[in-house]
Amino acid sequence: MSHPYADLPARAFWRSGVLEADISDFADLYRPVQPIDRDTAIATAGSCFAQHIGRALRQAGCAVLDAEPAPQVMPDDIAHRFGYRLFSGRYGNIYTARQLRQLLEDAAQGHVDERFVWTTPQQRFVDAFRPNVEPEGLGSVNEVLLHRDYHLEKTAQMLRSAEVFVFTLGLTEAWQDHETGRVFPVCPGVIAGQFDQTQHEFVNFRYGEIVEDLEAIRTLLHRFRPGMEMLLTVSPVPLTATASGAHVLDATGRSKAALRAAAADFAEDHGDVGYFPSYELVTSPAAGGPWFAPNLRSVLPEGVDRVMNVFLDAHGLREPDRGAVDEPVREPDEADDEADDLICEEMLIEAFGR
C-alpha cells in the first residue's frame, strides 16, 4: 500500500535513524540552513554553554567577531575573568531571549541609565546588566556609565559586520525591575545590588513571549545589518536553582521544553534562521554519553567536543584527520574543574544558597 511513510529516508525512523545509526558522528542529524565557512563573520551570544561554542569556532579558525578585544598584555586567565573573549561582545552571559532583545535595543539607542548601577558589598560599582565583567567593581557610578556607553557603541559596531548571529537560549526564568520591566542576568543581591521585593519581581517567560522576543531580535539584527542570519541552539545545562516554586528537575524540563519549541517554530517560520541540536546531542541517551559530570549539570569536555564536532563536520570546518573527540578523557574531578572555568552568574546562586 502507498502512504506518506513508504518513501521516507532512514533519518525519519527511530530504528534506522538512531538505533542502527553510527552514533559516533550522527552526520545526518544537523542540516545547516545557512553555509558557514572560515570567512563568515560570526557573532556569538548566550548562556554559559555558549562560551564553549565561541571557543570551538575560534579554534577551528572561524571568523568570530570580537567587539572589545582584551589588551594585548593581559594574560588569558585574567582576560577570561574580566569578560573578554567569552562572546563577540563583552556583554557577559545572556540567559533569556528577553535579555538579548534588551541588549540590542540598548545598543541601537545608546541607552544608559544610572538607575541600573549596583553597589557591591565592598562599596564598588557594577553594571546591573553585566555584573560579572568587572569582578572587582569600578570606583564610581559615572565610571560604570562610561564603560556601558563604550560597550554599547562597540557592540553596535560589531553587529554591523556580523553575517550570522549564533544565540544559545539558556533559561526562561529571570528577575526584572517592576517599574521598567528590564531583566537582569542574575537576581539582585547575589553578586551586587540589594533585593527589594517591592521593586524586583520573578518572571518565567512562556512560549509565546519567547517567540515574540525572537521576532523582535531578528528585526533588530536586520537593522544593524540587513540580511543577517540567525542560528539558534538550546543549552543542555540544567537550572542551578529555580524560584518558580516547582522542583528544580521539573522546572528545568519546563524551561528547556519551552525554549526548544520556540526555537523550532521560529526557525521553521523564517528561512534565514537555523537550529542546531546541541541540547539533543548532550541530553538524549541515544546520543551516547553520559556527557554530564558527576554533578549531573556540567557538560564534560568530551560532550562539548562531540557537540562541536557535529557542527564543524556539517559545515566542512573540521580537519578530516581529527578524531571525534579533540581532547583526552579526563578524570571526573578534572572535568568538573574545567566546567567551573566558565564564567557563569547562575552558578553563584548555588554558591550563596544551600
pLDDT tens string 161-199:
999 999 999 999 999 999 999 999 999 999 999 999 999
Full residue range of the structural domain in which residue 100 is found: 26-351
With respect to residue 19, please indicate whether it lies within any of the assigned structural domains: no
What confidence category does residue 268 fall into, taking pLDDT thresholds of 50, 70 and 90? very high
For 62-84, letters b (16+ CB in 10 Å) and e give bbbbbbbebeeeeeeeeebbbbb
With respect to residue 255, please indicate whether it lies within any of the assigned structural domains: yes
**What is the tally of structural domains in the chain?**
1
Average pLDDT of the residues of the chain: 90
Q: pLDDT tens-digit profile of 223-250?
A: 999 999 999 999 999 999 999 999 999 9
On the 0-12 / 13-18 / 19+ scale of CB atoms within 10 A, 324 is middle
With respect to residue 1, please indicate whether it lies within any of the assigned structural domains: no
Long-range (24+ apart) CB contacts under 8 A made by 69-76 are none
With respect to residue 21, please indicate whether it lies within any of the assigned structural domains: no
pLDDT of res. 204: 98
With respect to residue 15, please indicate whether it lies within any of the assigned structural domains: no
Q: Name the nearest CA neighbour of 44 among 98, 89, 99, 100.
A: 89
Residue in this structure with the C-alpha cell 521576532, named with its chain if needed: 215
pLDDT of res. 34: 87
With respect to residue 18, please indicate whether it lies within any of the assigned structural domains: no
With respect to residue 301, please indicate whether it lies within any of the assigned structural domains: yes
pLDDT of res. 346: 64
Q: pLDDT tens-digit profile of 99-146?
A: 999 999 999 999 899 999 999 999 999 999 999 999 999 999 999 999
Long-range (24+ apart) CB contacts under 8 A made by 78-84 are 80/341, 80/343, 81/135, 81/343, 82/133, 82/134, 82/135, 83/130, 83/132, 83/133, 83/134, 83/343
With respect to residue 16, please indicate whether it lies within any of the assigned structural domains: no
What confidence category does residue 321 fall into, taking pLDDT thresholds of 50, 70 and 90? low
How many CA atoms within 13 Å lie on the side-chain side of 134? 22
